[in-house]
């Protein structure tokens, strides 16, 4: 019992004990053999103490299996159904915890350890609530302790919806209304790798990738990923500093109209030598915000004025690095299958041209806003062989 107490005396974040650590300590007391009656009584009391406190706990990823096993193996299915499931429901926005609890419940259903119809009903209810509350958390779905465990739980969850025939819950998940709440790191560590591996799950269950719901799902997440993690290329801005002219001549007026326009970088002024020299002098007096040279192959010769960039080189370099990383992520997909789910968006997404599309950008750049997914475009084909 000392070992159990030692584990329980080690608080976790928020000054709470981890249920997973408590359960690990309880299990370790019994070892691999049937404990003697006295020790069995101590183990039972420790389990009761841990279960009595679950209503006040904040759960994390590893607590999901611990809660299921502790309740089921020490109290039985009836206790789990009546006392534990309401606690899971009250922590429904802790997505990592809930999905790992559901994974353990599903495994017990596969082993036929629990009443099948009651367990399926419980699974269906928790799955529905979890999906509906993806967008209630700070980000959808909150990542478990590692990207590997997050990936495993989510892939299992989607596969279980197929296996249990929960079409309503699967369609709710694929509607992806919560996609606007996904953070940048979650795209890279969870969602993009998940989409890559999901092709195998879809194929295993004999589903066509060309179904509209899969087009919506893939197009929504990948488009949101590009706008969140890459974004629009920074637009170069140019100096709008003008020149001074005491006599306010028409040549300086034309020059200043060009200089004051932030959208124009190069201006051409075909002028005679004396008028060109006057502009040369005014530009040089104004500083180094632009260059000026004479093209002598024209008649009259042309003064070409080029504005300097206003220093967004670092932003452009950062954007290019993000783009390269996104290209690597997209290249890791099975391209034949990716063409099916992206349909007519494939070229625009792979070339990043979609980031330049007016109208889409305004809806994607604000990740905290509610986003209505675009209707799916026509598929290129059905599932590739």
φ, ψ for residue 133, nearest 5 deg: -105, 10
Spacing of C-alpha 380 from chain mean position: 26
| Out of 104-108, 111-115, 167-171, 313-317, least confident range | 313-317
> According to the model, what pLDDT value does residue 317 have?
86
Q: What angle do CA 48, 53, 55 make, to 5 degrees?
A: 125
d(CA 63, CA 79): 18
Listed in sequence order, the residues at least 6 apart from 74 whose beta carbon sits closer than 8 Å to its beta carbon are: 44, 47, 48, 51
Average pLDDT over residues 256-270: 90
- List pLDDT tens digits, range 13-38: 443 568 888 888 888 776 555 666 66
Long-range CB contact pairs, 25-33, < 8 A, 24+: 26/50, 26/70, 28/3, 29/1, 29/3, 29/4
Q: Which residue has the higher pLDDT, 25 or 209?
A: 209
> According to the model, what pLDDT value does residue 77 have?
96
Report whether pLDDT(190) > 80: yes
d(CA 306, CA 285): 16
> According to the model, what pLDDT value does residue 116 have?
96
The 8-class DSSP code of residue 32 comes to T
Q: Which residue has the higher pLDDT, 141 or 303?
A: 303
Report whether pLDDT(270) > 50: yes
Q: Which residue has the higher pLDDT, 295 or 141?
A: 295
Report whether pLDDT(385) > 90: no
> According to the model, what pLDDT value does residue 231 have?
92
Report whether pLDDT(340) > 80: yes
Report whether pLDDT(117) > 90: yes
- List pLDDT tens digits, range 64-104: 999 999 999 999 999 999 999 999 999 998 888 999 999 99
Per the listing, tokens 């005679």 go with 272
Per the listing, tokens 């099948």 go with 116
Average pLDDT, the chain: 82
> According to the model, what pLDDT value does residue 247 have?
80
Report whether pLDDT(149) > 50: yes
pLDDT band at residue 374 using 50, 70 and 90 as cut-offs: very low
Percent of the chain with pLDDT over 70: 82
Report whether pLDDT(137) > 60: no
Which residues pair with residue 293 across a beta bridge?
Answer: 304
pTM of the model: 0.70
> According to the model, what pLDDT value does residue 26 have?
82
- List pLDDT tens digits, range 45-55: 888 888 888 88
For 54, 96, 192, 212, 220, the CA distances from 372, given in Å and listed in that order, are 38, 25, 20, 15, 9
Per the listing, tokens 């809806």 go with 363
| Out of 134-148, 209-223, 233-247, 338-352, least confident range | 134-148
pLDDT band at residue 179 using 50, 70 and 90 as cut-offs: confident
> According to the model, what pLDDT value does residue 375 have?
40
Listed in sequence order, the residues at least 6 apart from 261 whose beta carbon sits closer than 8 Å to its beta carbon are: 240
């Amino acid at each position: 019992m000392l070992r159990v107490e030692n584990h329980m005396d080690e608080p976790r974040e928020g000054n709470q004990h981890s249920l997973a650590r408590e359960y690990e300590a309880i299990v370790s007391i019994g070892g691999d053999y049937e404990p003697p009656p006295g020790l069995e009584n101590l183990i039972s009391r420790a389990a009761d103490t841990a279960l009595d406190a679950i209503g006040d706990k904040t759960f994390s990823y590893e607590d999901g299996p611990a809660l299921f096993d502790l309740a089921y193996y020490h109290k039985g299915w009836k206790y789990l159904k009546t006392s534990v499931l309401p606690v899971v429901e009250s922590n429904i926005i802790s997505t990592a915890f809930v999905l790992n609890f559901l994974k353990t419940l599903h495994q017990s259903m596969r082993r036929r350890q629990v009443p099948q119809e009651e367990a399926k009903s419980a699974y269906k209810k928790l799955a529905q609530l979890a999906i509906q509350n993806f967008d209630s958390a700070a980000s959808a779905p909150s990542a478990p302790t590692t990207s590997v465990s997050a990936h495993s739980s989510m892939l299992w969850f989607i596969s279980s919806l197929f296996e249990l025939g929960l079409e309503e819950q699967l369609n709710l998940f694929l509607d992806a209304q919560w996609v606007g709440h996904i953070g940048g790191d979650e795209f890279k560590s969870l969602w993009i790798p998940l989409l890559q591996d999901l092709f195998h799950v879809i194929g295993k269950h004999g589903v066509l990738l060309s179904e509209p719901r899969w087009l919506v799902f893939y197009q929504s997440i990948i488009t949101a990923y590009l706008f969140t993690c890459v974004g629009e290329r920074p637009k170069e801005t140019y100096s709008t500093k003008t020149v001074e002219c005491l006599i306010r001549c028409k040549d300086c007026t034309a020059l200043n109209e060009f200089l004051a326009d932030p959208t124009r970088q190069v201006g051409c002024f075909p002028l005679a030598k004396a008028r060109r020299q006057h502009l040369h002098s005014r530009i040089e007096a104004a500083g180094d915000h632009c260059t000026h040279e004479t093209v002598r192959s024209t008649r009259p010769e042309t003064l070409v004025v080029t504005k300097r960039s206003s220093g967004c080189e670092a932003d452009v370099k950062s954007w290019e690095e993000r783009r390269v990383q996104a290209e690597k992520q997209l290249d890791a997909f099975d391209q034949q299958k990716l063409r099916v789910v992206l349909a007519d968006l494939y070229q625009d997404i792979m070339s990043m041209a979609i980031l330049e599309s007016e109208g889409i950008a305004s809806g994607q750049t604000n990740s905290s806003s509610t986003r209505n997914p675009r209707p799916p475009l026509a598929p290129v084909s059905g599932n590739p062989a």
